[in-house]
Each structure stands twice: as C-alpha cells, then as structure tokens.
Amino acid sequence: MLDRRSLLATTLAAGAASLAAPRILRAQEGAYVVGTLFPMAGPNAEYGTIFTNGIQLAAEHLRAEGMLKRPVEIRAQDSLATPQGGAVGMTKLANVDKASYVMLGFTGVSKAAAPIGTRSKVMMINGGGVGPDLANLSPYFWNVIPLVNQEVQVLLPWLKQQNLSRIALIYVDDPLGNGILQQLKDGLPGAGGSLVGSFSIPPATQQFAAIAARVRDTRPDAVYFASYGAQQAQIIKQLRDNGVSQQILTYSAGSIPSVVGLPESDGLVFTSQASDWSAPDPLTQRFVTDWRARYNSDPTSYNQNYYNAMRLFGLLAQGLEKADKPVTGENLREELLRVRRFPMVGGEGSFEDQGTMSMPMQINRIQGGSFQKIA
C-alpha cells in the first residue's frame, strides 16, 4: 500500500537511490520538482500504484540516459480520488512543494485541481481521467490518454458489426459517468442502436442487485458500465450473480488487474489506446522488456500513459536546458506547443490545441485472466 506525501520524495541524481524502492530524502538544491496527485489509500488506491509504477520506470530510464543536467525530485499528494482531495493536493503541490509539473488522474480530481494549477502556472498532465470535458480544461492541462468520447466513437461501429443494438448503461453519477451517458445518447442512434436504460449509482456504493434486476427488465443486447476502482469488480460480479448474461462493455478502466483477473470478467470488452508490445521501436521495446523483467507481466495502458507522462517531462525539460531557459510550468507549456509531436511508448504522440493527444485506438476482450486486442 502506498504511503502518503513523502513516499515518492526521491531524486534522479547520479548515485541516488532507485525509484523502485522510494524513500524519504530532503529536497536538493536546484532539483526540478515534479508532483503526483493520485489516490494512495482506500478503494481506488490500486490506480495510484499502477500510475506510480509507470512513472518510476520512466524516471529510472531518464536517470540512466543522463537526459537532464539537474536531479528531479518527485513529490506525492493523495488525491483521495475526490474533487476535494484534488483541490487540496494541488494547492500543496503548487504552493508548498513548488512543483512545475504535476501528473494527475480521475476526471473529478482533474477538474478541481486545474484552476489551482492554472493560477500557479503549473503544467498538468493527465494519464487516467477520460471525461470528455477534460479537453480545453486549461491552457496548462494536457492529456496523454484518449478521452472517453474517442473511446465511444471506436466502440460504436463494433457494436453495429456485432448486432448489439440495445444498450443498457450503469454509470457513476460524476463527471466521468455523465460524460459517457451523453456520448452514448448522442452516438448510438447513428450506429443503429439505442440506449434502452440508464442507471446512475453513487461512487461509493457496492450493492447492485437491485440495479441488475432493472437492467434485466430492459432486455438489453449488452450492458455498458462506467465506473472505476473496487466498484468495477462488484458491478461485474453482481450482474453475473443476478442473471445478467449479456455482453458487458466498458472503457479503458477495465484494463486494471483486479478486473482482468476476475473470473466473472471473462468475455468483457473494453476500449483503450493501442498497446502493441511487439512494436519494433526501441522506446517501446525497452519499456516492455524492463517492465516484464520487473513485474513478470505485461504492462497496462495506464502504466504506458504515466511512463509517457514522466518521459514527456524529461523531453520538455531537456529542450529548455538546451535553449538555456528555466524549467518552469510556463516554459514547459511553451516547449510542448513548439514541438507538438513526441516519440512515446506505443507510437508518436501528437498534441492538439484543445489539450488532447492523438494516438491509435483498439478494442480488447478479457479471457482467462488476460486480454487481447480484437479490433
């Protein structure tokens, strides 16, 4: 289990302790301060671990390459996966830790943190939240993950091909869930489908028998759920336990190990950005090889995203160093706008004016405790 704020306080200086075993260190004079704002305890702590593991590996690679002239110190704040936690954590990162670059996730957290980071001119990078309103959120807020409108757009033609036209939706009543609800309402008719029922749930609820009964009554061809964290496993298990046998669908949150390894998840289909671990480019191959050696498993798209987010800082800061400019949030943003296209794990990432990044997409199916691309 991740500890709180001091867990990630470490450096990338030559000879510093490896981020694989983070420990408390005092701030170094002249270090670049980078922040993380993830859930580190409670029902969504799994995400904090997944996100952080990607950052750790990228940080080790930056240090091994000698990419930057100064050390990098990473400071962590616990977002609690809530808007309030996001606001409190970003305030500390911006005003106390003086971070110039913060990696964060979750739609509600991001929306609460963005105004605070913007006022302090902190560069913010999201690799986990997918709410469509994270586009154009702030001039300082950028996404290295496709947003859910892109995921739904990829899924709709596949639904039509599979003759899955009657869709029921279970969604968390928050910015993410409401965004997916709107995307399905808007997109299904054009794909020959319809939303036959939509059922909102509070973020903390864990009992879904009554929801499952209402879903059965709609006689859907497939059930899409929009949730995250420990709640996902309960939705899947209780749908199956209560007689819902139809195809289950979700977005990229379905890639986390607690969902993939669940026996009731067999057959679940989810969308994500492309994750071709056989891609021949050296960056992807080093990432995959080192990940497998350390964790004895394939990485998830979230590991990929936050590896890319940390590496992006290295590329931006390196460009500023070469131009003899200070590494500030404002200058990091200007460097991103100047370059726009960056080599990343999974392919080249191209940043758009609205704060989004274009990458290839895929559809995946879980089977036997792992998942494979199907479209």
- Structural domains in the chain? 5-145+280-359 (3.40.50.2300), 148-275+362-373 (3.40.50.2300)
Tokens of 93: 């990162």
Per-residue pLDDT, 349:
85
pLDDT digits (tens, 9 = 90+) for 53-108: 999 999 999 999 999 999 999 999 999 999 999 999 999 999 999 999 999 999 99
Per-residue pLDDT, 231:
94
Say which residue the tokens 């399905």 belong to: 184
Per-residue pLDDT, 82:
94
Q: In the Cβ-directed half-sphere of 302, how many Cα atoms lie within 13 Å?
A: 24
Is residue 287 within 8 Å of residue 343, measured between CB atoms? no
User: What pTM was estimated for this model as a whole?
Assistant: 0.85
Per-residue pLDDT, 29:
55
**140 DSSP assignment:** T
Please say whether the dihedral angle defined by the alpha carbons of residues 360, 354, 118 and 179, taken in this order, is positive or negative: negative
Q: Which residues make Cβ contacts (< 8 Å) with residue 96, sequence separation at least 6?
A: none
Per-residue pLDDT, 358:
75
pLDDT in tens, the chain (375 residues): 344 343 444 333 333 333 333 333 344 458 999 999 999 998 899 999 999 999 999 999 999 999 999 999 999 999 999 999 999 999 999 999 999 999 999 999 999 999 999 999 999 999 999 988 899 999 999 999 989 888 999 999 999 999 999 999 999 998 889 999 999 999 999 999 999 999 999 988 999 999 999 999 999 999 999 999 889 999 999 999 999 999 999 999 999 999 999 999 999 999 998 878 888 899 999 999 999 999 999 999 899 999 999 999 999 999 999 999 999 999 999 999 999 999 999 888 889 999 998 777 899 999 999 998 899
Angle at Cα 179 formed by Cα 352 and Cα 299, nearest 5°?
65
Per-residue pLDDT, 13:
38
Nearest by Cα to 302 from 322, 280, 321, 275:
275
